[in-house]
Amino acid sequence: MKSHNVVAGVHGMTGETWKKHANPWSVWTRFAAIPAFELAVWSREWIGWWSLAGVAVIVVWLWLNVRLFSPVEPESWAARGIYGEQLHVEGRAPAAHRVVLRLLIVAGLIGFAFIAWGLTVLEIWPLAFGTTLLVLAQLWRIDRYGLLYEQHQSQNP
């Protein structure tokens, strides 16, 4: 089983869940969770082990997020991107898209590594650099997924 299918399986992604996941409110609040998570981890410096409560809240929020919002059709930029992500997870992305998407996933993972480094040593520059890289890679990936979705729709009306 491919790793992206495993991740989708862990999150219990069904057809209805994907439609909720595509809600722009869901997409943008997941982005908002990035600095909230970073602040929760960084706060260990000020509040010690209580910082884990903040981390737990963010983790629970991210799990609930894909289930809380109402389902949407692919009318917005964010929704089309998530519908395209579903095509990718289902193995319906053409090779040209898969190559670019892998590169964007690697860029996001590099950003995540910088975030982890910055949070481990409490240094702002790797944290800021990693966050910027991660967010840009995610936005570009959503855009690419939107293109994938639009191509798929034009070929399968």
Query: Which pLDDT tens digit goes with each residue over 82-91?
Result: 999 999 999 9
8-state DSSP, 22: T
Q: What is the mean pLDDT of residues 28-46?
A: 97
Give pLDDT, residue 66.
Answer: 86
User: How many Å apart are CA 85 and CA 103, to the nearest integer?
Assistant: 15
| Selection from 36, 7, 3 nearest residue 131 by Cα | 36
Its pTM surpasses 0.85: yes
Q: What is the pLDDT of residues 117-134, one digit of tens each?
A: 999 999 999 999 999 999
Are 78 and 155 within 8 A, CB to CB?
no
User: How high is the pLDDT of residue 154?
Assistant: 93
Q: What is the pLDDT of residues 50-65, one digit of tens each?
A: 999 999 999 999 999 9
